[in-house]
């Protein structure tokens, strides 16, 4: 028994260190004092089974892993400075990790069946037109073009990145209300990835975040355009655009190019500049963000990057975002989060897989319901839709 406690303690400490978390983080997460965590790690106190479960989900391992002789691999890697992670964020990480663990469970049940092959990308394409030459040094631009192609979009049109994401094989998409520090997460999960988006952000900001996570999915630490990884790997992304480490900056640049292709944006700006003597003003800013479906922050970040706007102009356009659009006659939904009942939902592969397992009799109805409830789909379990309420269109 003593050995077991010491083993669990050592594993918890090792996983905590590797995830860049401190004892206070775990204390807040488990709702205990910091001294209790310290005693756990030194093997002086035992964890309740509930705590063992919570810790294993947080680190993306099984409870058995926590008891094992050798330290299991934690899946967490973040792009936030450690002090920016709070106890409440660990709840979010766990909620998303739970979905990844459930996916593992469901996949194991399907073993022996054919799993769609991993994606192999074409090798680096060269930029072509004159407008593109300006960005030819920018690897991110080339990558954004490759991903557009892969998603079935052309090179210049505005895209609805959430709709297009349904064409990505085996992708699970989770909307989850996260803290104001986070924008989203990406879990590379043995070829069955999960992307989670902070649903309390504005719709325009969520789209940018989705595009940012696609960078992690396709390019970050892996072969280009493949998202198969041997082990589970979770990346947590901060809220501010253009900040953070080099990978975060690259992902933001990629997202910007994916949603606002240089060839399209520069054309629109040329048109504006030829028609307006005073250059870009608020009506053009609103028009551009509505055209591409991105947030003000995302557009201004790009216009500053392209040196279309000065810092002083950028600051001015950050004010009164919703009012400026409403007064110009635009719908304001781009600047608002989803309605509350849609802020916590899972879509895509996970839901399909649960359905498939039930149909094949590989899981019980009870297990199916549990899997759906843990992925925030009580609407499917309890059938919130009223019969006959569907609109004919
Ligand atoms: Zn990121």
pLDDT < 50 positions in the chain: 114-134, 136
Euclidean distance between CA atoms 259 and 113, whole angstroms: 36
277 C-alpha to ligand 1 centroid (Å): 38
Distance 56 CA to ligand 1 centre (A): 24
**For the segment 5-45, what is each residue's pLDDT rounded down to a tens digit?**
999 999 999 999 888 889 999 999 999 999 999 999 999 99
Quote the radius of gyration of the chain (alpha carbons, Å). 23
Structural domains present in the chain: 1-72 (1.10.260.40), 75-382 (no CATH)
Between the CA of 215 and the centroid of ligand 1 the distance, in Å, is 8
pLDDT confidence of residue 19: 83
Q: How far is the CA of 239 from the centre of ligand 1 (A)?
A: 9
pLDDT score at 234: 84
Give the distance (Å) from ligand 1 centre to CA of residue 95.
Answer: 18
Residue 383 CA to ligand 1 centre (angstroms)? 35
Say what the pLDDT of residue 386 is. Answer: 58
Q: How far is the CA of 168 from the centre of ligand 1 (A)?
A: 19
Those residues with Cβ within 8 angstroms of residue 202's Cβ, 6 or more apart along the chain or in another chain: 295, 334, 335, 336, 337
Phi-psi group of 372: left, alpha or beta (phi > 0 → left; psi -120 to 50 → alpha; rest → beta): alpha
Among 155, 199, 191, residue whose Cα is nearest residue 175: 199
Expressed in angstroms and rounded, the spacing between residue 249 Cα and the centre of ligand 1 is: 8
> Ligand 1 centre from 206 Cα, in Å?
13
Residue 255 alpha carbon to ligand 1 centre in Å: 10
Distance CA 112, CA 360 (A): 14
Q: Ligand 1 centroid vs 205 CA: distance in angstroms?
A: 14
The span from the CA of 256 to the CA of 287, in Å, is 17
Going from the Cα of 182 to the center of ligand 1, the distance in angstroms, rounded, reads 10
In the sheet with 233-238, reading across from the earlier edge strand, the strands are 76-78, 233-238, 182-188, 194-198, 172-176, 345-348
Q: How far is the CA of 321 from the centre of ligand 1 (A)?
A: 25
Distance of CA 82 from the midpoint of ligand 1 (Å):
14
What separation in Å is there between the alpha carbon of 218 and the centre of ligand 1?
Answer: 12
CA dihedral 260, 265, 266, 269 (to 10 degrees): -150
What is the torsion angle, in degrees rounded to the nearest 10, for the CA atoms of residue 178, residue 181, residue 184 and residue 185? -100
**How far does the centroid of ligand 1 lie from the alpha carbon of residue 364, in Å?**
37
Distance 340 CA to ligand 1 centre (A): 25
Measured between alpha carbons, how far is 306 from 261 in angstroms, rounded to an integer? 12
Distance 201 CA to ligand 1 centre (A): 15
In whole angstroms, give the CA distance from residue 81 to residue 237: 10
Query: Ligand 1 centre and the CA of 14: distance in Å?
Result: 24
185 Cα–ligand 1 center, Å: 7
Residue by residue, DSSP assigns 114-130 as: PPPPPP-PPP-PPP-SH
Structure confidence by residue, pLDDT tens digits, 314-341: 999 999 999 999 999 999 999 999 899 8
Would you state the pLDDT for residue 244? 79
In the reported structure, the alpha carbon of residue 200 is separated from the centroid of ligand 1 by a whole-number distance in angstroms of 17
221-235 burial, b if ≥16 CB within 10 A, otherwise e?
Answer: ebeebbbbbeebbbb
How far is ligand 1, taken at its centre, from the CA of residue 122, in Å?
A: 24
Pairing of the two strands 194-198 and 76-78 = unpaired
């Amino acid at each position: 028994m003593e050995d077991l406690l010491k083993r669990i303690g050592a594993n918890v400490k090792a996983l905590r260190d590797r995830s860049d978390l401190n004892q206070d983080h775990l204390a807040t997460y488990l709702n205990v004092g910091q001294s209790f965590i310290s005693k756990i790690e030194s093997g002086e106190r035992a964890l309740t089974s509930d705590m063992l479960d919570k810790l294993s989900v947080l680190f993306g391992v099984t409870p058995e892993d926590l008891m094992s002789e050798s330290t299991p691999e934690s899946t967490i890697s973040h792009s936030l400075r450690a002090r920016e992670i709070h106890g409440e964020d660990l709840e979010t990480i766990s909620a998303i990790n739970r979905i990844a663990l459930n996916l593992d469970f469901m996949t194991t049940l399907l073993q022996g069946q054919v799993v769609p092959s991993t994606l192999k990308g074409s090798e680096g394409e060269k930029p072509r037109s004159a407008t593109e030459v300006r960005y030819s040094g920018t690897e991110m631009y080339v990558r954004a073009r490759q991903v557009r192609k892969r998603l079935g979009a052309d090179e210049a049109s505005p895209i609805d990145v959430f709709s297009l994401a349904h064409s990505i094989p085996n992708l699970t998409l989770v909307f989850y209300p996260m803290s104001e520090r986070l924008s989203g997460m990406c879990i590379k999960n043995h070829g069955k990835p999960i992307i989670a988006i902070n649903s309390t952000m504005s719709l325009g900001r969520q789209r940018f975040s989705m595009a940012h996570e696609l960078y992690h999915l396709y390019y970050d630490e892996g072969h280009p355009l493949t998202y198969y990884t041997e082990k589970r790997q979770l990346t947590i992304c901060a809220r501010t655009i253009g900040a953070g480490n080099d990978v975060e900056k690259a992902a933001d640049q990629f997202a910007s190019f994916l949603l606002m292709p240089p060839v399209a944006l520069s054309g629109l700006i040329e048109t504006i500049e030829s028609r307006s003597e005073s250059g870009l003003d608020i009506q053009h800013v609103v028009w551009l963000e509505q055209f591409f479906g991105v947030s003000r922050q995302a557009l201004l970040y790009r216009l500053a990057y392209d040196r279309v706007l000065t810092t002083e102009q950028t600051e001015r356009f950050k004010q009164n975002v919703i009012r400026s659009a409403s007064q110009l006659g635009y719908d304001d939904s781009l600047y608002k989060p989803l309605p509350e009942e849609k802020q916590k939902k899972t879509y895509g592969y996970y839901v399909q897989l649960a359905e498939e397992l039930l149909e094949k009799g590989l899981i019980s109805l009870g297990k199916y319901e549990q899997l759906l409830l843990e992925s925030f789909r009580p609407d499917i379990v309890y059938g919130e839709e009223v019969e006959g309420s569907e609109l004919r269109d």
